[in-house]
Amino acid sequence: MKFSLNFLKEFLEIKVSPDKLSELLTMAGLEVIARERVGSDTSFEVEVTSNRPDLLSIVGIAYEASALLGKKSKVSLVKVKTKPALNMPVTIESKKDCSLYIGRVIENVKITPSPAWLVERLKACGINSVSNVVDITNYCMLKWGQPLHAFDLDKLSEKLIIRRARPKEKLICIDNKERELNSEALVIADGKKPIALAGVIGGKTCEVSAQTKRIFLEAAIFSPIRIRRTRRLLGINTESSYRFERAVNPAYIEQACFEAASLIERLSGGKVCGYKKIGTTPPLKRPRIKFEVSKMNNFLGTDIKENKALQILKHLGFKVDKTRRDIFIKSPLFRQDISVEQDLFEEIARIWGYQNIKEELPAVKKDMEVRPSFYRFKEAIREKAIRLGFKEIITLSIVSEKHISSHLLEDVEAIRVVNPLRADEDLLRPFVFLGMLERLRHNVYRKQRNLEFFEIADSFIKSGGSFKESPKLCLGVHSDAKEDFYVFKGKVEAFLKTLGIEGFSIQEREQDLFSNFCLIENLGWIGILGSDKAYALDLNQVFLAEFDLEALACQAKESTFVNINYLPWVERDISMAVRGDVKFNRIEDMIKAEVGALLKGLEVCDVYKGEKISKDFTGFTLRVFYQHKARTLEAQEVDSLHFSLRDALASIEGVILR
């Protein structure tokens, strides 16, 4: 909101510089965000917080500034003339929507451009001049905080109703837009049709124009909620609706309307010939709050003397009521935001100056309860992934359905956003790997090819009439070499090992989008993206894994020390060629069964697939490590065991020893 310094000076002697005034206002809670010279005036742009509608007027800001400058503000109230009476029928359909409505009729007006002083005033408040009558309504709104509206009386059939719009009723507003209304909208209507959106914007038909001779001037109090709903429904926000939504101060409605009518008489040559008022001012809160300065100092950490605190409140318009034992404070009518004692503490603190409150460290008391923090666990997981060479990404949780294959969505019920920013991006992702895939694609598109990413994020699904939000870890790799999958698998195993999880069972499965996919117990899964999907995304090899962090946390074990076996071990190699349909774990299982407890480990070296070997065979060398727990093994013992191992392996169909 903008206000004019010269306008403010009509109510208050300001001797400080604009700089100093900015600082004073800002440090007391009315933030000055910009300032510029406008002719001989200065325009201040301020951010008025929603709890201080009283600052949406010059008289309100004058009151605040006077408290800050230690001066008295002079707001002179004139005696309002209420005669002659207006005969026109005006009805309010519901008191809840409109509690008070005042109308004045001014006849014989001449619509002309406004005098320079008025144009300047408005300009310094950021409002453009239109014509004398319209400008006067804006001027009085800026001064008193009471929005006013002028209608061309000749254009409306001579009765007024303040009512809800009927469904499908239409109104062309003064911004030239036609709007369709419904029963949520509050309108000013004449006998036939709506002529304005009450408190928001006027209609074109009764707009004041160069030909207007008779004015109907409206000043009213509308329900803040009703105005809010009306303007949200129709997507408009005006200076008028902004003030009504925050609740205008009823104290000035008569002044504002009378001053406007008087100014119209003066500047347009017209004559007021009727006044009507229906309804009453709405009930206002006026709490009486007990004030204890010791409580305040305990709350703020200050040592403010009681008389200083009370002086601040008095300057702000509060009334101090001292009884024998207690002090009670009554807030001014224009401060409907005051209800509890902390509101008073804030008033005193902000005028006293937050910068004058000392800084002390809080003494936070600990207790004996042990509360495990899942954040700590997530940080540990993060470290593990980083150690394995993955870079952390953070991707958006709201995705578009077109990025998910419809088959995937068949198994789960995804949660939808009812009011998305973009109509096609409205799914809360049920799988975290979707974001990973998107970002791999994004980076590869930008010519970055070797990518290893991870993300820790929640997945969302509907479940049993409610929802399930689960923290997940997703690992993703883009590579140009299919064999790199075994590096990825190695990292996944290393990762699980650092959680104390080894020897887990895997279960291969058909899974849409993937060429290879297997579940890792109840912990998660690992897979390779199907080549047709990869091709569609312009990607090469994509390896993915996802883990449920809660399941991992359940199974994770702390490290426990196992004695090192310093005894020497014996290595023996077996070179073999294995046919494509024979799975490696079959060979591995056989070795484990044959060698038993003497098996220290197994390594694969020299993997070969090429010309020297039959087409669907893979050649490699297995290095078997033999070690005894309690004594040095003799070569002969190993030899005989190794020979029977060779025999056992050779007996597997599709395995050829070399």
Partner 1 sequence: MLEEFGKIKQEAEQAIDGCGSLKELEDLRVRFLGRKSALTSLSSSLKGLSPQDKPEAGRLFNQTKNFIAGLIEEKKKDFKGLEDRLDLSFASEKINLGSKHPASIVVREICDIFAGLGFEVQEGKEIEDEWHNFQALNIPLEHPSRDMFDTFYLDLKPSGAYKHLLRSHTSPSQIRLMKKRKPPLAFLVPGRVYRPDAVDASHSFMFHQIEGFAVSRDINFSHLKGALVYFAKHMFSDKAKLRFRPHFFPFTEPSAEVDISCIICKGKGCSVCKRTGWLEILGCGMIHPNVLKACKINPKTYQGFAFGMGIERIAMLKFGINDIRLFFENDIRFLEQFYEV
- Residue list 294-333, contact with partner 1 (CB under 8 A): 298-302
- Residue 349, interface with partner 1 (CB under 8 A)? yes
Among the listed ranges 58-66, 373-381, 535-543, 553-561, the one in contact with partner 1 (CB under 8 A) is 373-381
- In terms of CB distance, is 85 or 396 closer to partner 1? 396
88 or 461: CB nearest partner 1: 461
How far is 141 from 147, CA to CA, in rounded Å?
Answer: 5
Smallest gap, in angstroms, from Cβ of residue 477 to partner 1? 12
Pick out residues in 464-483 that bind partner 1 (CB under 8 A).
465-467, 469
Can residue 364 be called a binding residue for partner 1 (CB under 8 A)?
yes
Interface residue with partner 1, options 80, 88, 398, 613 (CB under 8 A) = 398
Number of residues counted as binding partner 1 (CB under 8 A): 87
Least Cβ distance, residue 627 to partner 1 (angstroms):
34
Task: Report the residue number, 362 or 596, with the smaller CB distance to partner 1.
Answer: 362
Write down the least CB distance from residue 337 to partner 1, Å: 8
350: contact with partner 1 by CB under 8 A:
yes
Q: How far apart are CA 492 and CA 388, in angstroms?
A: 9
245 binds partner 1, rule: CB under 8 A: yes
Q: How far apart are CA 217 and CA 250, in angstroms?
A: 17
Least distance to partner 1, CB of residue 349, Å: 5
Distance (Å, whole) CA 212 – CA 105: 13
403 interacts with partner 1 by CB under 8 A: no
Nearest one of 8, 81, 80 to 43, comparing CA atoms: 8
Counting contacts by CB under 8 A, is residue 346 touching partner 1?
A: yes
Q: CB neighbours of 332 closer than 8 A, spacing ≥ 6?
A: 316, 317, 318, 319
Closer to partner 1 by CB, 102 or 349: give it.
349
Read out DSSP for 587-598?
HHHHHHHHHGGG
The DSSP-derived string for 494-554 is HHHHTTT--S--EEE---TTEEEEEEETTTEEEEEE-HHHHHHTT-SEEEEEEEEHHHHHH
The distance of closest approach from Cβ of residue 573 to partner 1 in the complex, given in angstroms and rounded to an integer, is 30
Q: Is 235 in the site for partner 1 (CB under 8 A)?
A: no
Q: Are 197 and 153 in contact (CB under 8 A)?
A: no
* Exposed/middle/buried for residue 563 (C-beta within 10 Å: 0-12, 13-18, 19+): exposed
Smallest gap from Cβ 411 to partner 1, in A, equals 19
Query: Residue 410 CB, nearest distance to partner 1 (Å)?
Result: 18
Stretch touching partner 1 by CB under 8 A, among 91-99, 258-266, 413-421, 574-582: 413-421
Assess 354 for contact with partner 1 (CB under 8 A): yes
Rounded Cα distance, 530 and 163, in Å: 63
Measured between its terminal Cα atoms, the distance across the chain in Å is: 87
Shortest CB 429 distance to partner 1, Å: 11
- Given a contact cutoff of 8 angstroms between Cβ atoms, the answer to whether 268 and 134 are in contact is no
User: What is the per-residue binding string for partner 1 in 424-463, x denoting contact by CB under 8 A?
Assistant: ----x----------x--xx--x-x-xxxxx--xx-x-x-
Q: Which range, of 326-334, 349-357, 540-548, 562-570, touches partner 1 by CB under 8 A?
A: 349-357
Please choose, out of 195-203, 224-232, 577-585, 622-630, the segment that lies near partner 1 by the rule CB under 8 A: 224-232
Rounding to the nearest 10 degrees, give the CA dihedral for residues 573, 578, 581, 586: -20
What is the residue-wise DSSP string for 435-504?
A: HHHHHHHHHHHTT---EEEEEEEEEEEEETTEEEEEEEEEEEEEES-TTHHHHHHHHHHHHHHTTT--S-
Closest CA to 103 of 196, 242, 236: 196
Give whichever of 241 and 255 is closer to partner 1, judged by the CB atom.
241
Contact in structure between 221 and 99 (CB atoms under 8 Å): yes
- Candidates 49-57, 78-86, 286-294, 576-584: pick the segment binding partner 1 (CB under 8 A): 49-57
Smaller CB separation from partner 1, 102 or 221:
221
**Cβ atoms 438, 469 nearer than 8 A:** no
Number of other CB atoms surrounding residue 333 within 10 Å? 15
275 sits near partner 1 (criterion: CB under 8 A): no
DSSP 328-367: EEE--TT-TT--SHHHHHHHHHHHH-GGGS------PPP-
With a CB cutoff of 8 Å and minimum separation 6, the contacts of 294 are none
Distance CA 251, CA 146 (A): 10
225 binds partner 1 (CB under 8 A): yes
Residue 229 lies near partner 1 (rule: CB under 8 A): yes
Q: Which of 389, 500, 580, 601 binds partner 1 (CB under 8 A)?
A: 389
373 binds partner 1 (CB under 8 A): yes
What does the alpha-carbon distance between residue 82 and residue 93 come to, in Å, rounded to a whole number?
24
Stretch that binds partner 1, among 37-45, 62-70, 181-189, 345-353 (CB under 8 A): 345-353
CA dist 50 → 222, 278, 336 (Å): 17, 29, 11
Subset of 50-79 contacting partner 1 (CB under 8 A): 50-52
Nearest to 554 by CA among 493, 500, 494: 500
Following CA atoms 644, 647, 649, 650 in sequence, which dihedral angle do they give, to the nearest 10 degrees?
A: 170
Mask for 12-41, x = binds partner 1 (CB under 8 A): --------------xxxx-x----------
How many Cβ atoms sit within 10 Å of the Cβ of residue 244? 25
**Amino acid making up residue 388:** L
Pick from 371, 612, 615, 658 the residue near partner 1 by CB under 8 A: 371
CA angle, 22 then 27 then 33, to 5°: 45
Among 16, 85, 386, 536, binds partner 1 (CB under 8 A): 386
Smallest separation (angstroms) from partner 1 to the CB of 394: 5
Per-residue binder mask for partner 1 (CB under 8 A), 588-627, x = binder: ----------------------------------------
From the list 161, 273, 333, 415, which residue makes contact with partner 1 (rule: CB under 8 A)?
Answer: 415
Nearer CB in complex with partner 1: 192/358? 358
Which residue carries 């809800």 as its tokens?
Answer: 164
Residue 653 is a binding residue for partner 1 (CB under 8 A): no
Q: Are 48 and 56 in contact (CB under 8 A)?
A: yes
Question: Which one of 345, 488, 517, 525 is in contact with partner 1 (CB under 8 A)?
Answer: 345
Tell the residue number behind the tokens 């309002």, with chain if given. Answer: 80
Q: Which of residues 124-143 bind partner 1 (CB under 8 A)?
A: none
Instruction: Tell me whether residue 53 or residue 194 sits nearer to partner 1 (CB atom).
Output: 53
Stretch that binds partner 1, among 311-319, 367-375, 481-489, 576-584 (CB under 8 A): 367-375
Nearest approach in angstroms of CB 287 to partner 1 is 14
Does residue 572 bind partner 1 (CB under 8 A)?
Answer: no
Closest of 195, 142, 193 to residue 173, by C-alpha: 195
Asked if residue 416 binds partner 1 (CB under 8 A), the reply is yes
Using CB under 8 A, pick the residue from 394, 567, 607, 650 that binds partner 1.
394
Note whether 151 binds partner 1 by CB under 8 A.
Answer: no
